[in-house]
Amino acid sequence: MVDSSILTRKFQKEMNAGIASLVLLSVLHKSTEPMYGYQIAKLLEEYSGDTSFMKQGALYPVLHSLQNSGLLESKVEPSVSGPPRRYYEITSEGRETLITWQGVWKQMKSFVDRAIKGG
Amino acid sequence: MIKSVEDYLDVLKTELNGSDAATIQDALADAEEHLRAALASLREKQPEMSEEEALNQVIEQYGSPDETASAYKEVERRTLPSLAREISNQQDSAFKRFLSVYEDPKAWGALLYMLISLVTGIVYFTWVVTGLSLSLSLAIFIFGLLFAVFFIVSLRGLALLEGRIVEGLLGVRMPRRSLFFQNGTTWFDRLKTNLTDKRVWLTLVYFFLQMPLGVIYFTLIVTLFSLSIALMAAPLVQSITDFPIISIGIMRYYLPSWATPLFLLVGFLIWTLTLHLGRLIGQLHGKYAKMFLVTD
């Protein structure tokens, strides 16, 4: 018998893989100015309340991969305290993609809800 | 037990062992940026909290080194550099494989890189030589130190740019963000930590060598390109202009018509071999750039 908490964590991780991209794009779409990693993590913490859905460290590789696909842009700026910060901003391609992804998410959500309820 | 941000970075580095050097560099930079920002804001809110307690709380939210490492490995597995695609042509015949270089973006990318490297090589070389000589000669003044720091910072920026060009054209994974400046307190400390940093010197050497390499690459490609085009075009030019195309000494000869397919074939062969050569040089240069510009 496999520990159920391990299974739950695995399930969570697999689900997060795609959702993280959608969430990050949405956050940067809403934001009026470029944001850096820690700022984004703080904002997501507010949204998630007491439960933590994913480790903040896991956001960064997703940010890199979104930038690599041309959906985000970034620039490094020095900070008053500590190391320089990388600020991320959504591109116009990112905004277009987000609209499609939101559609996919809506369909997926209603599909999963119906599957759980059973008709 | 992790007692400081440096400890965390060390453990993270060990956890990422075996991953791509560029990924490791990105991961360390991300972690350092986040942990320091989070620590600073937490300690501002709760100044009574001990350093260790604060760090533990921050790491709890950021993820332990092994969790963070696995997140990077996972994403890295899914996103390869844009040109790094797998071409499975094991079963194809040697002839087909020989020609398949035409559809390989890496070969074309490498040729483009070799052409551009003349220009970038000259820019890097000039910058490095000017920067070095000014840093040395201004060192007798206080602001000479400032200038040296400025020069080293500029190297980091240029190194990142060269990395992006190498990844874009040669398809080798390179860092996606610049290295951090060591957190020295004074300008002098910064200069000292940077002068003892192996990477700064390796970057300097790379930029210095980039000009001779650029000249060689450029000459090689342009020569081979002209040669193959000239061979292929010679019979055509002769048939249009009716001018004897071969000259030996003061004598000029007409190209016999049976040689036309031969010239076309040889020209085409040289061009195809040039593409192969370009791809090979691109691979070697990618490895070399990685050795000099990426931290290990």
Last residue of a domain, one of B78, B102, B132: B78
CA distance, residue B76 to nearest chain A CA (Å): 8
Counted domains in chain B: 2
pLDDT tens digits, A4-34: 788 887 788 778 878 889 999 999 999 989 9
Which one of A105-119, B138-152, B266-280 scores highest in mean pLDDT?
B266-280
Percent of chain B at pLDDT > 70 equals: 91
| Residue of A41, A65, A82 with shortest CB distance to B75 | A65
pLDDT tens digits, B142-177: 888 888 888 888 888 899 899 989 988 998 888 777
Residues B38, B142: one domain? Answer: no
Q: Give the CATH number, domain containing residue A99.
A: 1.10.10.10
Its domain, for residue A45, covers: 4-117
Identify the contact set of chain A against chain B, taking CB-CB distances under 8 A.
17, 36-38, 41-42, 45, 52, 55-58, 60-62, 64-65, 67-69, 74, 76, 79, 81-86
In a domain, B295, yes or no: yes
Helix (H) or strand (E) holding B154: helix B142-170
pLDDT tens digits, B9-47: 989 988 888 888 888 888 888 898 888 888 888 888 888
B-chain CB neighbours of A69 within 8 Å are 79
Last residue of a domain, one of B78, B106, B132: B78
Residue B182: predicted pLDDT: 52
Structure tokens, B120? 């970038």
In a domain, B83, yes or no: no
Of the ranges A78-87, B87-96, B286-295, which one carries the lowest mean pLDDT score? Answer: B87-96
Q: What is the 3-state secondary structure (H, E, C) of B19-84?
A: CCHHHHHHHHHHHHHHHHHHHHHHHHHCCCCCHHHHHHHHHHHHCCHHHHHHHHHHHHHHCCCCCC
Q: What is the mean pLDDT of chain B?
A: 84
Handedness of CA B91, B96, B101, B105 (dihedral sign): negative
Last residue of a domain, one of B57, B78, B99: B78
- To which residue do tokens 């930079």 refer? B29
Its domain, for residue B170, covers: 89-296
Residues B61, B107: one domain? Answer: no
CA distance, residue A62 to nearest chain B CA (Å): 7
Residues B137, B267: one domain? Answer: yes
Q: What is the ipTM of this complex?
A: 0.74
Counted domains in chain A: 1
Structure tokens, B276? 């192969």
| Res. B257: pLDDT tops 60 | yes
Residue of B nearest to A37 (CA): B34
| Residue of B33, B37, B79 with shortest CB distance to A65 | B79
End-to-end CA distance of chain B: 24
